[in-house]
Structure 1
Amino acid sequence: MTTSQGGTTRRVILKGMGSVAAAAPFGCGIALGAPAGADVTGRLARYMVSARDRALPPEVSAACKARILDTLGAMVSGSRLHPGLDAVRYIRGLGGTEEASVVASPFRTTAVNAALANAMCAHADETDDFDPLTKAHPGCSTVPAALAMAEKEGRSGEEVIRAVALGYDMACRLLLALGPDLVRATHRSAEGTASNFGALGAAASLARLDERGMRYAISYTAQQVSGLWSWVKDEDHVEKAFDFAGMGARDGVTAVSMVQAGLTGVFDVLDGTNNLFIALSTDPHPEAMVDGLGTRFFVTETAIKTFSVGYPIQSPLDAVLALRREAGLTPGDVRGVLVRVPTDAVGIVGASAMPDVNCGHLVALALVKGAVSFADSHDDALMRDPAIQAMAAKVRVVGDPALMDPAAPRGGIVEVTTADGRTLSHHTRFPPGTKENPLSPERLNAKVRDLVAPVLGAEKADRLIAAVNALDTVADMRGLRPLLTA
């Protein structure tokens, strides 16, 4: 058989496999009796095909709508910050076919470009959600990719909800399969690694690829997985927004659009020699990519932030504000502050030049002002405010090995020594917004309203919130365009 004949035969076989998978019941690809570690690519691809047509449990659908709304809040508010403004200006200069909207802007561009710009906006202000288990930020890449592809294809709100659930699963499961700490140990960005697969899952679902197309899209996305731990040195939050969100959203939508255009690729990139897992991990667990698909949904497990700051700071802020409130503390009452965070958080939030990722500065801000607003957390000038500087000089941030708790991986302890010699302590094990301490729909709506009303106006903000809360009734996502235009 010649190479040409072999390729043709293979394509015929794969086409038949895709037809069988598309007709099979939900989840059957995960229960075909394949031995552990075998055909992970195929089992994942078949699940991706089936998941788009299967209703989600009500609680999962509600969690998806909440994360979509929360990410939209991040996108709209981030569009007016430095990383978002830079991204939108760059994308506007590229032009492109009008397929999808750029949030809070009056123009449309290609789905790939829109996904990049909107995702950088989504991680511009540190208010996007976070997975405590893997420490991924799935929303800021998954939701922009879903919105761009849905607008391009004219998909419904229900289809977007299912696509987002799939994207969250793929982002978090990839890191579980690789080992998130092992990824970081090789100087790679686990957040950037996860974001590609989150965007892939959402975009591929909305493109309605068959099994063969899913396999190729997985491969094209795997080839683009990148990101270095060096993002911690970014003092402007611009490259960080790209690494955590924009890069992944762009890559996932690019992979899917290439497959839509008929490009072929590698059939089994997650299996065998030279596969993604062994390339990126010294101790991979490929089965983690498919274990529990269809029964465990990571979108229900991510934490929605109450403060628009780096996630390791959520617990310390909750703790210090609780102490201030309960003890009636004033700045003059404070002699010193010891903030304990997990040891792996110190290098991220211990001494950052960015105000929204600097734990000592934000704790000082909270003690001086009694609150941490969106505007204040992003105000560079406050890092030079004499009263806040004086308080920050009293704050010490240390890593505490006891807080490296897999059951509560982002807890925090604040100990305040008062001027009269008392020691006050508060341990926030689960900050508000976690699955153990969830935000009510009313509090989430209020958070998003505060983020988007200054950009879109109060009336449009309320209409957008109402539309997303009823997203499963939206027939065509293009109908939301007017609500996202400033």
Structure 2
Amino acid sequence: MEIQQTLTKYISEALSHELPKETQNNTRFHLLDTLIAILTGRLLPPGRKGFEFSKNQGGPKEATLLGNDIKVSAINAGFGNGMAAHANETDDSHTNGRFHPGCAIVPGTLAIAEKQDLNCNDILKAIALGYDVGVRITTSLGYKTPKTTTFATHSLGTIFGCTASAGALLKLSHQECNYLLSYTIQQASGLACWNRDPDHIEKAFVFSGMTTRNAIYSALLAKENFTSVTDPLLGERGFHEGFAHNPKPELIVSELGKKFEIDHSSLKKWSVGSPIQSMMDAIEYLLKNNEFNHKDIKELTVEIPSDRYHIINDREIPSISAQHLIAVHLIKKTMGYEEAHDELLFNDPDVVTLRKKIKSISSDELAIARPERQSKITIILNDGKKLFYHASSVRGTPDNPMNADDITAKAKRLFAVFKSPKTDDLIDCVLNKEFTIKELVQLSNLDIK
């Protein structure tokens, strides 16, 4: 009971504690990054389907489907914006927590913030809280490798993280936060079979759409005083008993208020799957430091960590296919929104020809290497020259973090698809201003059809 009491007390008091300046800045980075993901994700099938479904469900006009001025219930706004947030593989991640925090925590936070008409300070604190809780919950379960885990940490981390954010913004009492956890535990779900999803729609549902919706639902139930059992987290037949492999309950509250997990999260420089980030870094380096073009390539070998090989090796979805993205990057000499998501490029003759020259190797050595998600690329040119790069510290990870210039450059690169002057104002507002939720929503209205 003591661990759960410590956690619920922390959630109920989170808005009264100030964040360190560095953590505030990092939270602004992750907020902007997720807005990029939501708005550009609206253009892709998961985002379009989430938007249409939420619009048709309607409900009281509490929160906005971002990119337009259409208002629906907070639950439906969280679902629709959550589906969009993971649509284009540009959302953030947390390596130790093994999930993508921003794609659920930010949509849920913004939906409740708009419902309650809250300000910048509360929004930033709630987002940071969500990362803290989500990461601690998943790490406490003691799962081994992504390849052998049946339960989806990507849904468990996000539902608990988003629940904490929503509960704090609704100003739940200590007792109500106990109810909050209990109803969240009853809705916790998700299996790793999402990895077989060919269209990225179920994947977006598992990572963020479902979990944002369920988290907001739990918070609203708790606010209405739906009572619950007293120790659902660690008690008999509770969450840990049902979900944990090698339970480490002490991690649930370890360094709460001292270590802020948003400071240890990763931003993606590239709009592609997380394990492919290092490969894009490697291609960028090789193009900048050598004189060659794609027609000069005789063969290319990419070494991929064995525990993530199954996620990205020769997949049919462009944004998570290592071979496809390597080929496109080499041909286009850039990797923006259109390069990552243009399905026509998948059958482009030049891309297909180059893709056939790419050999992948599953590497156990890279699976245990730290920092995680490293890769090695070797290119043999037609004249026999050998090019090699080992991408060991991915840009955007805690070991090699992105700064304000980096996140601004990413935003401009991906927002270019909209050709709207409002996007510069949105970037400036999130990074530099004491915004209101109304201002944030208004600047996000790009009239996306």
- 2-structure distance, mates of 1:80, 1:425: 36
Question: Residue 437 of structure 2 aligns to which amino acid in structure 1?
Answer: M
Aligned to 1:165: 128
Where does 1:52-201 land on structure 2 (aligned, <5 Å)?
52-181=15-144, 185-201=148-164
Q: Is the 8 A contact 1:349 1:358 kept in 2?
A: yes
Question: Residue 420 of structure 2 aligns to which amino acid in structure 1?
Answer: A
The count of corresponding residues between Structure 1 and Structure 2 is: 446
Residues 1:484 and 2:444 aligned together: yes
Cα distance change on mapping 1:186 and 1:314 into 2, 3 Å: closer
Q: 1:466 aligns with which of 421, 424, 428?
A: 428
* Residue 228 of structure 1, CA deviation: 1.4
- 1-structure distance, mates of 2:63, 2:147: 34
* Residue 101 of structure 1, CA deviation: 0.5
Q: Is the 8 A contact 1:172 1:298 kept in 2?
A: yes
Q: Is the 8 A contact 2:336 2:413 kept in 1?
A: no
Q: Is the 8 A contact 2:94 2:265 kept in 1?
A: yes
* Residue 459 of structure 1, CA deviation: 2.2
Secondary structure in structure 2 of the residue aligned to 1:62: helix
Question: Residue 171 of structure 2 aligns to which amino acid in structure 1?
Answer: R
Q: Is the 8 A contact 1:132 1:410 kept in 2?
A: no
Secondary structure in structure 1 of the residue aligned to 2:256: coil
* Residue 103 of structure 1, CA deviation: 0.7
Residues 1:205 and 2:165 aligned together: no
Structure 1 stretch displaced more, 141-150 or 326-335: 326-335
Q: Is the 8 A contact 2:265 2:398 kept in 1?
A: yes
Aligned to 2:246: 283
Q: Is the 8 A contact 2:97 2:134 kept in 1?
A: no
Question: Residue 146 of structure 1 aligns to which amino acid in structure 2?
Answer: T
Secondary structure in structure 2 of the residue aligned to 1:371: coil
Aligned to 2:296: 333
Question: Residue 185 of structure 1 aligns to which amino acid in structure 2?
Answer: T
Structure 1 stretch displaced more, 259-268 or 53-62: 259-268
- 1-structure distance, mates of 2:441, 2:244: 41
- 1-structure distance, mates of 2:127, 2:98: 18
Secondary structure in structure 2 of the residue aligned to 1:447: helix
- 1-structure distance, mates of 2:400, 2:332: 25
* Residue 422 of structure 1, CA deviation: 2.8
- 1-structure distance, mates of 2:375, 2:170: 42
Question: Residue 195 of structure 1 aligns to which amino acid in structure 2?
Answer: T
Q: 2:194 aligns with which of 220, 224, 231?
A: 231
Cα distance change on mapping 1:149 and 1:461 into 2, 3 Å: same
Q: Is the 8 A contact 1:119 1:144 kept in 2?
A: yes
- 2-structure distance, mates of 1:323, 1:448: 24
Structure 1 stretch displaced more, 392-401 or 90-99: 392-401
- 2-structure distance, mates of 1:453, 1:483: 15
* Residue 65 of structure 1, CA deviation: 0.6
- 2-structure distance, mates of 1:388, 1:454: 22
* Residue 404 of structure 1, CA deviation: 1.9
Identity %: 31
* Residue 183 of structure 1, CA deviation: 7.6
Q: Is the 8 A contact 2:337 2:417 kept in 1?
A: no
* Residue 429 of structure 1, CA deviation: 0.9
Aligned to 1:399: 362
What whole-Å deviation, never above 9, does each CA across 1:189-233 have from its counterpart, x for those lacking one? 111111101111111111110111111101111111111111112
* Residue 464 of structure 1, CA deviation: 1.1
What whole-Å deviation, never above 9, does each CA across 1:344-386 have from its counterpart, x for those lacking one? 1111000211000000111111122211121111011111011
- 2-structure distance, mates of 1:184, 1:40: 30
Q: Is the 8 A contact 1:452 1:461 kept in 2?
A: yes
- 1-structure distance, mates of 2:376, 2:184: 40
- The structure with the larger Rg is 1
Question: Residue 477 of structure 1 aligns to which amino acid in structure 2?
Answer: I
In structure 2, the gaps of 5 or more residues are none
Secondary structure in structure 2 of the residue aligned to 1:321: helix
- 1-structure distance, mates of 2:145, 2:390: 29
Secondary structure in structure 1 of the residue aligned to 2:378: strand
Question: Residue 401 of structure 1 aligns to which amino acid in structure 2?
Answer: D
Aligned to 1:311: 274
* Residue 182 of structure 1, CA deviation: 6.4
> Taking structure 1 as the reference length, what is the TM-score of the superposition?
0.89
Question: Residue 177 of structure 1 aligns to which amino acid in structure 2?
Answer: S
* Residue 156 of structure 1, CA deviation: 1.1
Structure 1 stretch displaced more, 91-100 or 269-278: 269-278
- 1-structure distance, mates of 2:45, 2:279: 26
- 2-structure distance, mates of 1:266, 1:452: 46
* Residue 235 of structure 1, CA deviation: 1.4
Residues 1:296 and 2:296 aligned together: no
What whole-Å deviation, never above 9, does each CA across 1:132-159 have from its counterpart, x for those lacking one? 2233100000000000000011111100
Secondary structure in structure 2 of the residue aligned to 1:439: coil
Residues 1:358 and 2:321 aligned together: yes
Aligned to 1:427: 390
In structure 1, the gaps of 5 or more residues are 1-37
Aligned to 1:440: 403
Question: Residue 451 of structure 1 aligns to which amino acid in structure 2?
Answer: L
Aligned to 1:13: none
Question: Residue 466 of structure 1 aligns to which amino acid in structure 2?
Answer: D
- 2-structure distance, mates of 1:453, 1:209: 40
Where does 1:256-275 land on structure 2 (aligned, <5 Å)?
256-275=219-238
Question: Residue 163 of structure 1 aligns to which amino acid in structure 2?
Answer: A
Q: 1:249 aligns with which of 198, 207, 212?
A: 212
Question: Residue 138 of structure 1 aligns to which amino acid in structure 2?
Answer: P
What whole-Å deviation, never above 9, does each CA across 1:300-334 have from its counterpart, x for those lacking one? 11111111000000001111221122121211221
Residues 1:374 and 2:334 aligned together: no
What whole-Å deviation, never above 9, does each CA across 1:146-173 have from its counterpart, x for those lacking one? 0000001111110010101110011111
What whole-Å deviation, never above 9, does each CA across 1:84-121 have from its counterpart, x for those lacking one? 01110111111100000101123101111100100111
- 2-structure distance, mates of 1:51, 1:184: 35
